[in-house]
Structure 1
Amino acid sequence: MHRLGAVAIKNSVYALPATDAAREDFAWVHREIIDGGGEASVCEARFFAGLSDEQIEALFHAARNADCEALAEEARAVQKALPRRGSIPEERRAELAGEVARLRKQLADIAAVDFFASTGRVTVEGLVHGLEVRLEGGASEPSTKRQPAALADVRGRTWVTRKHIHVDRIASAWLIRRFLDPEARFKFVSGKGYTPEPGELRFDMFEAEFTHEGDRCTFEVLLERFGLADPALGLIAEIIHDIDLKDAKFNRPERPGVECLVNGLAMVERDDEARLARGAALFGDLYESLARKRE
């Protein structure tokens, strides 16, 4: 059942989204159980009491995020095995390439059953892609010499990201509207299968123009790509990184408080526009506090 991406509702009751592929998967499982002398039933159902659709979707998110977090830990272990600078010795390259190929295959398996575009997949996608670039002879560390992107190229655009925004997407949207384009518009879409329309820029989603790169979250990537060297923004980036990637890289003392506030905000506000409005106020206040501390 785990291989199919099903989640357990209670003992011996498993659920998948009502799609043709899911029906076929359950039909095969049903046949295997019956052929083995067991009993099974497959039905299409809606919950009228007990669990809500949102709660069931949360079960899928939790299951895939757990898979992604475990895979991210493996990717970070491979990352640590790479030399920070210089070329990779040829005797290690083939071995590391095999490990990265395995990670990519496992990520593809997770993606196949990630029905609701879990937040953790963006993180592990960035890590695996970073490893692939490194093995192909790319930079050992994020470039600091890249020419900053031109603000004129992103102003007046619609910025698109995944629904149910959380810390990295909330902070990135605040950064975009505060420092890149005060008139920026935002659009929240399903994380799977979205085709951008003319004039749209995607962030913190798969194949986006601005998303995780290596072990950097989207907020960090935006700072680097637009040459935003404000020290207070750098501190916020470290906080966002530790909350989003869960790797304690910076150990900022503000992290637990900010994480608690963002989690509470997400629990109270289901609407993404409302989350963004309240989150923008939160990060605006945090920015002012950190900026004045450094004066």
Structure 2
Amino acid sequence: MPALNAITPDKLARLVASASAPPIVDLRESPTEAIPGSLFPAHADPTRWGYAAGSGTIVVDNDGGGSAVAAAAILRSEGVAAEVLEGGFVAWAASGLPTISLAHLPPRHDDGRTWWVTRARPKVDRIACPWLIRRFVDPDARFLFVAPGEVLAVAAQQQAEPFDVADQGVFWSHRGERCTFDVMIQAFGLETHEPLVRLAAIVRGADTDCLDLVPEAAGLLAISLGLSRIHSDDHAQLEAGMAVYDALYRWCRDAQGEKHNWSSHQPTRRKVSA
């Protein structure tokens, strides 16, 4: 049973990478890896983190008994439902739960967010990658969509990280048979997280015209092309696509064994004795 105002690593793991996940605030100094979706506050004062009364958050330090306890208490005094991760990051890592490597994380802007830029009119990879970034790397990441020939110029002008661009020298791009989504999973140290490995095969098949790679690839391609025709605004398409990838990730994580047909959800009929 968790301590008062604390959450266990296993319980938090069920929330990580979901649309309903609470903000995870990491207070450690200069970490090299973190819990997926962690935020790193620019201010030491929790009252300046911007969380409103009635909201919730998880505060993480190294062992769950240091600065996180005080920060969570201050937040609760402001009406925020703040909890401490029991055992801190050490307990999370010791449980074998997924972590992200911060080695390739782009520098943050003054607004505390990472900025990314790619080609306009996204289909598969350019929706899958922002989903991965927002759910696992930086929940507040900003994405810019511009004409293909303007990506590198905007990247330089706005100090935004270019991705899914064919130009040489762009780190986040296709490599051989792997699409940009694959590259990001590996670079962020998530290649051992089995649900993402399953999802990566679906994305790769849909994005590289290898629809026989896994059965779900053709479905993702059809949905992606349909979304691109429904939405003329790239950001509206991204928001719609987030729900698609949330659903696919949950299926990859814990719903693959569930079957569905005409009889699978019918109530069991009782036998009437003679």
Normalising by the residue count of structure 1, what TM-score does the alignment of the two structures yield?
0.47
Q: Could you say what the CA RMSD is over the residues aligned between the two structures, in angstroms?
A: 2.2
Residue correspondence of structure 1 range 92-241 to structure 2 within 5 A:
148-150=101-103, 153-154=106-107, 156-194=113-151, 195=153, 196=155, 197-207=157-167, 208-228=170-190, 229-241=192-204
Deviation at 1:255, TM superposition (A): 1.6
Identical pairs, percent: 36
Establish whether residue 245 from structure 1 lines up as the match of residue 208 from structure 2.
yes
**Separation of aligned partners in 2, 1:184 and 1:200:** 11
**Separation of aligned partners in 1, 2:171 and 2:182:** 14
**Separation of aligned partners in 1, 2:130 and 2:105:** 17
Q: Does the 8 Å contact 2:163/2:180 carry over to 1? A: yes
- For these two proteins, the number of residue pairs brought into alignment is 148
More strand by share: 2
Residue correspondence of structure 1 range 15-94 to structure 2 within 5 A:
none
More helix by share: 1
Q: Does the 8 Å contact 1:148/1:225 carry over to 2? A: yes
Q: Does the 8 Å contact 1:239/1:254 carry over to 2? A: yes
Q: Does the 8 Å contact 2:118/2:163 carry over to 1? A: yes
Which deviations, in whole Å up to 9, do the C-alpha atoms of 1:100-158 show, x marking residues without a partner? xxxxxxxxxxxxxxxxxxxxxxxxxxxxxxxxxxxxxxxxxxxxxxx955265455221
User: Which residue of structure 2 aligns with residue 257 of structure 1?
Assistant: 219
Runs ≥4 in structure 1, deviation > 6 angstroms?
none
2:197 corresponds to which letter in structure 1? Answer: G
Q: Does the 8 Å contact 1:151/1:180 carry over to 2? A: no
Q: Does the 8 Å contact 1:161/1:202 carry over to 2? A: yes
Deviation at 1:256, TM superposition (A): 2.0
Deviation at 1:232, TM superposition (A): 1.0
Deviation at 1:247, TM superposition (A): 3.0
1:167 corresponds to which letter in structure 2? Answer: V
Establish whether residue 289 from structure 1 lines up as the match of residue 251 from structure 2.
yes
Q: Does the 8 Å contact 1:157/1:199 carry over to 2? A: no
Q: Does the 8 Å contact 1:211/1:221 carry over to 2? A: yes
Unpaired segments ≥5 residues, structure 1: 1-146
Unpaired segments ≥5 residues, structure 2: 1-99, 258-274
Deviation at 1:198, TM superposition (A): 4.7
Deviation at 1:264, TM superposition (A): 1.0
Q: Secondary structure of 2:148's match? A: coil
Q: Does the 8 Å contact 1:160/1:202 carry over to 2? A: yes
Which deviations, in whole Å up to 9, do the C-alpha atoms of 1:166-220 show, x marking residues without a partner? 1111011100111000010000011114312253101101333311112210000
1:246 corresponds to which letter in structure 2? Answer: D
Q: Does the 8 Å contact 1:201/1:209 carry over to 2? A: no
